[in-house]
Amino acid sequence: MSGLSPGYILLEDGSRFDGLLCGDPEMSTVGEVVFNTAMTGYQEAVTDPSYAGQIITFTYPMIGNYGTSPAAMESSGAHARGVIMRDARNGTDAATAESGWLDWLAENRVVAITGVNTRALVRHIRDKGAMRGAILPAGIGQDEGVLRVTAEPTMAGSDFATQVSPDSPIEFDGDGIHVVALDTGIKASITSQLRQRGCRVTLLPSNSGPDAVLERDPDLIFLANGPGDPAAVAVVVDTVRELVGKKPMVGICLGHQLLCRAVGLETFKLPFGHRGSNHPVKDLETGVIEITSQNHGFAVLGPDGGQTIDEDEPVKWQTAFGEAVLSHINLYDRTVEGLRLPDAKAMTVQHHPEAGPGPRDSRHLFDRFLELAD
Amino acid sequence: MPRRDDIKKIMLIGSGPIVIGQAAEFDYSGVQACKVLLEEGYEVVLVNSNPATIMTDPEFATRTYVEPLLPGPVAAIIEKERPDALLPTLGGQTALNLAMDLSADGTLEKYGVELIGANRKAIIRAEDREVFRQVMNDAGIRIPWSVTVESVDEALAVLDSGDATLPAIIRPAFTMGGQGGGIAETREELISIVAKGVAASPIGQVLVEESVIGWGEFELEVMRDHKDNVVIICSIENLDPMGVHTGDSITIAPAQSLTDPVYQSLRDIAIKVIREVGVETGGSNVQFAVNPADGEIAVIEMNPRVSRSSALASKATGFPIAKMAAKLAVGYALEEIPNDITRATPAAFEPSIDYVVTKIPRFAFEKFPGAEHRLSTYMQSVGEVMAIGRTFRQSFSKALASRELDATTTVPASDDDLLEEIKIPTPERIDLIMAGLARGISVEAIHERTSIDPWFLRELASLALEEDGTEGMERIYSSVDTCAAEFEARTPYYYSSCEAPGSPTEVRRGNRPSVVILGAGPNRIGQGIEFDYCCVHAAMTVRDCGRDAVMVNCNPETVSTDYDTSDRLYFEPLTLEHVLAVCEVEKPEGVIVQFGGQTPLKLAQGLRDAGIPLLGTPVEAIDAAEDRGKFGALIDRLGIKPPPYGSAMSAEEAVEVAATVGYPLLVRPSFVLGGRAMEICYSGEDLDTYLKQHVQASPEHPLLLDRFLENAIEVDVDALCDGDEVKVAGIMQHVEEAGVHSGDSACVIPPMSIGDDMLEEIREATAAIALELGVIGLINIQFAIAEGGLYVIEANPRASRTVPFVSKAIGAPVAKLATRIMLGQKLADLDLPESNGSHVSVKEAVLPFSRFQGSDSVLGPEMKSTGEVIGIGPDFPTAFGKAQAAAGVALPDEGTVFISVTDTDKPAATQLAARFHDLGFKVVSTGGTAQAISRMGVPVETINKIAEGSPHVVDLIEDGRCDLVINTPTGSGARADGYEIRSTAIRHGIPSLTTMTGASAAVRAIGVSRNGPGEVYSLQELHAR
């Protein structure tokens, strides 16, 4: 780990938060500044492709306590553009640590800043909404900083999913159900959950058309998580619309939003998103509440166009694909968390049942997913 | 389903007196539960024998019974009140055990009382070690293995069969504190330790148990609702690895060293444990050992109730576990309860925090000379402090500052010696480690000897070498909000931390004037829950009087640090620096320093020097009462006598002064807390010994010498003074020999054997002293009545330990009235009832001797009790009997009574012996007393005094052949004997009475109890009379 040098965070509304840059004193980055309230799982977060284009503020102050390890990788590398911390650590004492956190960030060219009053920053974002921002060396003036920040496109309207999608198909062996995924940035934990259940998994580039998917002869089509605005990936939504009903289909996070858009629901940008490991999600069909891992900046509007679901029962309506059911809601803000299309054998959830990081309460959903393919 | 309508009346059981392992946290949880149940429209029947609790204030329940927490009295209350349900999970182990007893003896079934919160089956599945083991095994949850063996051969057989592996812990069955056990690393050690253990065990049995010593220790606080939704409220990591009781460990929240997958595994297991055990609703605590080498997890135990840890978790996260547990018990689901703090989100979630919480226990080994300074698997701490900081270092350094240690730890000069010392966990170990790190000893060297996780040691090293990393930063206040700022906090619960300059503070200070109340800090012997009780009353009153109540305290166990108690809570160390910083934000109308014991009083001068207005008694008056010279002159002006006294700057002078003051002498250093290093000297020889053993008298620290008034009746008075008028709230007569610290002495209201003239003289002297000192608020004065004369022993112009007892006895909130006076009201405008004659209240002290291996458990001028109970009855004997029973030393119905009294008590003692004989007791006595009894024609067995050699009275008690001790000692030898007799009695749980007043009450109480259990009545009924 190299030394610390003065730096700051500049938000598009001109707010500034000072700190110390970790690593290369010349490095800077621009992106959407968001916050994550999980107290563990920093490496998993930074390697989650859904964070592409974003700078993560960790609300928990001590980050890096147990180092880094290959087991915590959610993809082949870092996707977040930067991390903002209160009191970063670089130790390697933990038995599983292969390298220090700050060393790992430097190696992966992730811009990191520590010593920041992250609570003040988080309260600002909470009140004003997630916005573009930059991590800058103190040597770069605020005027220059503002230019850099505003040059960055806003998250609304941005297609990052295509950027993180693989160029060519990736295949994993398995004896069981064949799951074909439109890979908009799938997390390793999802692939791993499917494979633990014996699935054969094929990951296709996200711009693969319906025929390319069906050619693979899937038992189940999987719509992956991923970054950016679901409205900006109309191509994938079109593909999904073609495929619904033809094969059983499941989806997580961005995949959920894409299926919802495909059946005619709209998506909207949440003020500051849901990112953490403590969000209560209620299954409206069983009444069970699960504590979930969350990472999304956009959410699905109800069939009536409302942002919240006030009923405590599944909301049902008719679509071109038969009956649709809003199956899950988030109990923090009563936003939509899950969709089910019984006739089309499809279901999706907004949260992350695979955990990695976060609670595993919802992992059983993978069993439900696979039941659709039986 | 919202609340249950099929139950109307709920009984809640408190945890009784404060003892080690069960302290103020159960008042905190009980108060929350009472408040919630009343708000929900239920009738609440509360039973708790501890008068110093907020929960036993009459407004916290529909019916409040301060009866002994024993099946008999509680069954009588059930019979009278007919509650629909019993909630047993908020009063610690005491309430849980009592509920199980009432279930086992059929009482609950007989009266149709439903156990809510945890049922009988779940309690057994969690509490019975063997059943728990089976439940965990069936569920596939790993717990440390253990095998019971009765010989070395058997132990070797299980080793060879693979059922046991090394290292293993050997625990002999039924020996105190693991005596005769040890850790076997090798086959040879197994052979020798098992051999020793089998020999040490009275039943020849030892437990060979898997050693997880040195593994990391973690706890998770879990809540479950009747819909089977489960959430984790908090994770706690112990800095001290397995081997030190979690109550004695330094603990950190949240867990620091766990990766996400390992944490999630703990979470999954904790959820599985609460489901398997079958706790239907409420909070539980699951303890884990985690092998740092490979992340292997074993479950150590689970508590199917709220606990000390859940109180800590509530304070650490802002999530009120006890309150939620009460709501869940009456039928709510987590999703139906709003999160108190955000008000916008439901309680069905898991708190996320954006700071670090440190808890450090507070010990009292210095009170128990001879006790082995070694932390182990049973709890020995008497209190704790908690601190919140944005970083680990800030949190930890605040916690260290909160401890208010009386002495600094002696650090060995050589590194080798230091490294040797830290191998053993002790209260001082953390200070040694900090000193070692500051000196440059490596993290690796310390880790090797302590097994403390290197992450912690590196943090501590940077704290030791670079301090807390706040240079150039500014102190701001942030909210505890359960959600890491994701939502706006509505609850004004704050902590300070240092952040980059220009950071915003979150305190929302309205325009109302505020009054800052300084709490009492960590509970310790001599400064316990009584002071927190007064602080809470002050906060309530400040609010009632139209000001914002602002609380500053660092004790997580207390009601005062419940964010509901005040308008703003600052969870901060009670140091001048931190208190001044709060005043800077609050700009208070005044600060109250009278209620938190010595802790805030020590800050009074500093606050005044900083220009902060103090409410109530001025600093000068506090000083005048504490300065012997000034106080002596003051009472001299008033014509009130102290016992003859003097002071000495050197040992030589002490001998001279002793000659003028006269023996026996009470000797102590000038600066004392709770009577430390105080002794009675009967002769010049005693004094020489004292001077050599204890104290170096010096001009800075003079030695105080007072005449000890032998055979005196001691009296405590609590009074209110508004500067113009004085009202005595309570006059308490001690039911204990003179020379026992007032905190350890039983006492009674109204006084039993003091004449009206003397009571009037006491009232007049109290008024004169209070007015002359200029007291505004409370004053406590201790008097002694000897040979018909009244002597004043000391005056403390502040809330005393007895304020809650007096309040319960007379049915008036004395601390609240004092607060009103401090805010400018006059006594004439306040309603203070004259003590009515309809009932008698007795306070009895509870002692912790059994916790301290090898300690000389001797009562004397130094306070040693941890808690107290109250007994209320229509007459003194009934009240006295109840107090004894509540304190765990119930008077016997039959058996053997030992009587040994001083000459002046002999006539009364013969009468007493006759009555015991008539009640069917066997009477045993020594020399003179036995002769006197025998002359009255009462059969008596004579036994040796201690000095006369074995078999003597102590042997009698040790052998379990004595059921009651009556001993009124006078003079050096008798007093020393008396201490030993009483200590032995206490160790064996045998009641021991040291005054004839107490003895007469006892014999009468035993007689009365023959007529069946007495009537039970609630405080509400009592004070309505």
B437-472 pLDDT, tens digit per residue, is 999 999 999 999 999 999 999 999 999 998 888 888
Contact list, A44 vs chain B (CB under 8 Å) = 260
Strand stretches in chain A, DSSP E = 4-11, 16-22, 29-36, 54-58, 62-63, 82-84, 87-88, 111-114, 131-137, 170-172, 178-183, 200-205, 220-223, 249-252, 267-283, 289-300, 315-319, 322-330, 336-341, 346-349
State the Cα–Cα distance between residues A192 and A197, nearest whole angstrom.
9
Residue B991 C-alpha, separation from nearest chain A C-alpha, in angstroms: 53
Using CB atoms within 10 Å of the CB of residue B104, give its burial: 0 to 12 exposed, 13 to 18 middle, 19+ buried: exposed
Give A44 to chain B, closest Cα distance, Å. Answer: 9
B343 and B490 Cβ atoms separated by less than 8 Å:
yes
- Alpha carbon of B211: minimum distance to chain A alpha carbons (Å): 20
Say if residues A88 and A112 touch (Cβ distance below 8 Å): yes
Q: Which of A119, A123, A311 to mutate to test the interface with B (most CBs of B within 10 A)?
A: A119
> With an 8 Å Cβ cutoff, is A18 touching chain B?
yes
Q: Does the pLDDT of residue B176 top 60, yes or no?
A: no
CB nearest to A62's CB, from B293, B391, B484 = B391
Report the pLDDT averaged over residues B176-191. 78
**Contact between B292 and A95 using a beta-carbon 8 Å cutoff:** yes
Q: Which pLDDT tens digit goes with each residue over B507-537? A: 988 899 999 999 999 999 989 999 999 999 9
**Nearest CB to B503 within list A69, A120, A355:** A120
For B:500-559, CB contacts with A below 8 A are: 500, 503-504
- Nearest-neighbour CA in chain A from B458: distance (Å): 9
Contact status of B763 with chain A (Cβ, < 8 Å): no
Q: What does each C-alpha distance from B301 to B131, B208, B668, B771, B823 come to in angstroms?
A: 12, 18, 45, 57, 49
Rounded CA-CA distance B517/B813 in Å is 17
For chain B, the 3-state helix, strand and coil shares in percent, each to the nearest 5, are 40, 20, 40
- The pair of structure tokens assigned to A336 is 């939509």
Q: Which of B392, B500, B504 is the closest to A62 by Cβ?
A: B392
Measure the CA–CA gap between A272 and A293, rounded to whole angstroms.
Answer: 16
**pLDDT computed for residue B695 by the predictor:** 60
Q: Tell me the range of A289-298, B204-213, B660-669 where mean pLDDT is highest.
A: A289-298
Residue percentage of chain B with pLDDT more than 70: 96
ipTM of the prediction: 0.98
User: Please, what's the b/e burial string for B22-50 (b: 16 or more CB within 10 A of its CB; e: otherwise)?
Assistant: bbbbbbbbbbbbbbbbbebebbbbbbbbb
Whether residue A60 and residue B231 make contact (CB cut-off 8 A), yes or no, is: no
Of B312, B326, B307, B320, which is closest to residue B347 (Cα–Cα)? B320
Chain B interface test: which of A332, A334, A362 (most B C-beta within 10 Å): A332
Q: Which residue on chain B is closest to A34 by alpha carbon?
A: B486
Least Cα separation, residue A75 to chain B (angstroms): 16
pLDDT beyond 70 at B174: no
Does residue A267 contact residue A234 with C-beta atoms inside 8 Å?
A: no
Subunit contact A37:B256, Cβ cutoff 8 A:
no
CA atoms within 13 A on the CB side of B270: 32
* The pLDDT value given to residue A1: 44
> What are the residue ranges of helices labelled H in B610-650?
619-626, 628-638
CB contact under 8 A, A62 and B488: no
CB proximity A294 to B under 8 Å: no
B356 in A contact zone (CB under 8 Å): yes
Tell me whether A277 touches chain B (CB under 8 Å).
yes
Question: Residue A289: which of B261, B335, B484 has the nearest Cβ?
Answer: B335
The CA angle B259-B289-B241, to the nearest 5 degrees, is 90
Backbone conformation region of residue A179, classed left if phi is above 0, alpha if psi is from -120 to 50, else beta: beta
DSSP string, A294-308: EEEEEEEPPTTS-SS
Q: Are B531 and B492 in contact (CB under 8 A)?
A: no
Chain A nearest CA to B115, separation (Å)? 25
- Judged against a pLDDT cut of 70, whether residue B379 lies above it is answered with yes
What pLDDT, in 10s, does the model give residues B807-821? 999 999 999 999 999
Return d(Cα B962, Cα B964) in angstroms, integer: 6
* Chain B residues within an 8 Å CB radius of A277: 350, 352
Whether the full predicted model's pTM is greater than 0.80, yes or no, is yes
Query: Is A115 in Cβ contact with B500 (below 8 Å)?
Result: yes
Contact B390 A87 (CB under 8 A): yes
* A-contacting residues in B 266-325 (Cβ below 8 Å): 267-268, 292-295
Q: Is residue B791 a contact partner of residue B783, using CB atoms and an 8 Å limit?
A: yes
Evaluate whether A270 touches A296 at the Cβ level (below 8 Å). Answer: yes
- pLDDT above 90 coverage of chain B, percent: 69
Q: B994-1008 burial string, b = 16+ CB within 10 Å, else e?
A: bbbbbbbbbbbbbeb
The per-residue pLDDT for B465 is: 93
Q: Give the mean model confidence (pLDDT) for residues B551-557.
A: 98
Contact between chains at B504 and A120 (C-beta distance less than 8 A):
yes
pLDDT in tens, B336-366: 999 988 888 999 999 999 999 999 999 988 7
Q: Is B838 exposed, middle or buried (0-12, 13-18, 19+ CB in 10 A)?
A: exposed
Q: Does A109 touch chain B (CB under 8 A)?
A: no
User: Tens digits of per-residue pLDDT, B466-486?
Assistant: 888 888 899 999 999 999 999
Q: B165 in contact with A at a CB cutoff of 8 Å?
A: no
Chain B residues with CB inside 8 Å of A71's CB? Answer: 261
* pLDDT band, very low/low/confident/very high, at B57 (cuts 50, 70, 90): very high
B338 in contact with chain A, both atoms CB, cutoff 8 A: no
Q: Which of B259, B268, B455 is the closest to A93 by Cβ?
A: B455
CB contact under 8 A, B229 and A357: no
CA distance A295 to chain B (A): 14
* β-bridge partners, A269: A298
pLDDT tens sequence across B831-885: 887 666 689 999 999 988 766 655 555 667 778 899 999 999 999 999 999 999 9
In this complex, is the C-beta atom of A70 within 8 Å of any C-beta atom belonging to chain B?
Answer: no
**B-contacting residues in A 314-373 (Cβ below 8 Å):** 331-332, 355-360
Cα gap B339→B346, rounded to integer Å: 5
Whether A122 and chain B come into contact, CB under 8 Å, resolves to yes
- Residues of A with a known catalytic role: 253, 352, 354
Do A60 and B345 count as a contact with CB atoms less than 8 A apart?
no
Contact B345/A at CB under 8 A: yes
Q: Hey, are the CB atoms on B267 and A61 less than 8 Å from each other? A: no
Which of B68-82, B225-239, B698-712, B758-772 is predicted with the least confidence, judged by mean pLDDT?
B698-712
Nearest to A357 among B260, B293, B500 (CB): B260
Residue B769 has pLDDT above 60, yes or no: yes
- pLDDT higher than threshold 60 for residue B672: no
A95: contact with B, CB 8 A cutoff? yes
CB contacts, 8 Å: A122 with chain B: 354, 484-486
Interface contact flag, A331 B349, Cβ < 8 Å: yes
**Cis ω before A25 (30° cut-off from 0):** no
B638-654 pLDDT, tens digit each: 999 999 988 888 888 88
* CA terminus-to-terminus distance, chain B: 41
For A299, phi then psi, to 5°, come to -145, 170
Q: For residue A119, which residues of chain B lie inside 8 Å, CB to CB?
A: 354, 390, 478, 484-485, 499
pLDDT tens digits in sequence order for chain A, 374 residues long:
457 999 999 999 999 999 999 988 999 999 999 999 999 999 999 999 999 999 999 999 999 999 999 999 999 999 999 999 999 999 999 999 999 999 999 999 999 999 999 999 999 999 999 999 999 999 999 999 999 999 999 999 999 999 999 999 999 999 999 999 999 999 999 999 999 999 999 999 999 999 999 999 999 999 999 999 999 999 999 999 999 999 999 999 999 999 999 999 999 999 999 999 999 999 999 999 999 999 999 999 999 999 999 989 999 999 999 999 999 999 999 999 999 999 999 999 999 999 999 999 999 999 999 999 98
CB contact under 8 A, A287 and B350: no
DSSP 3-state of A52: coil
